[in-house]
Amino acid sequence: MTVPVREDLDTALSIQDAAVKALRPGTNGADLFVLANNMAADAGLGDRFMGAPGEQAKFVGHGVGLELDEMPVLAKGGNMTLQCNQNIAVEPKFVFTGIGVVGIENTSVVSPAGGERLTTLPDDLTCL
């Protein structure tokens, strides 16, 4: 199987960008998961979104704090409302069993204008 890494990363970046723009106070985390999941499905990657086929995690992001993975969770059925100044890691990824993972993870802060990115490194493709 050949993985179109550049195209799949572009999809992950598009999902990340859409989710970060929606990181506003009052937004429901479950709605952001649905947005991300639908974008992955539209790109033909729904069965690999957030895990290997049949083993997908039902979240695309989470709060960041003292325990690292904290509330709120951007998760299916999570029903958690975002509040101003929460730090949220958005981490869309696609898993290709036996090959590897294509994805991105960055942290933003919830604001009335949408997420303000805290991570300063570029989202460039790095091949190892």
In-domain check, residue 22: yes
What local confidence, expressed as pLDDT, does residue 85 receive?
Answer: 97
Q: How do strand 87-90 and strand 59-63 relate by DSSP bridges?
A: antiparallel
Q: How many helices (H) and strands (E) does the chain have?
A: 2, 7
For 69-109, the pLDDT digits (tens) are 778 899 998 889 999 999 999 999 999 998 889 999 999 99
Tell me the residue range of the domain where 56 lies: 5-116
In-domain check, residue 127: no
In-domain check, residue 124: no
Q: What CATH number does the domain containing 70 carry?
A: 3.90.230.10
- Reported as a pLDDT band with limits 50, 70 and 90, residue 3 is low
Burial of 96 (0-12, 13-18, 19+ CB in 10 A): middle
Number of domains in the chain: 1
Bridge partners for 95 per DSSP: 101
Convert 115-126 to b/e letters by CB count within 10 Å (16 or more is b). Answer: bebeeeeeeeee
In-domain check, residue 74: yes
What local confidence, expressed as pLDDT, does residue 70 receive?
Answer: 76
In-domain check, residue 48: yes
pTM (2 decimals)? 0.91
Give the N- to C-terminal CA distance of the chain in Å, as an integer: 18
| 1 has a pLDDT exceeding 70 | no
Convert 69-78 to b/e letters by CB count within 10 Å (16 or more is b). Answer: eeebbbbbeb
Question: Does 71 or 2 have the greater pLDDT score?
Answer: 71
Contact (Cβ atoms closer than 8 angstroms) between residue 27 and residue 83: no
Rounded Cα gap, residues 100 and 121, in angstroms: 22
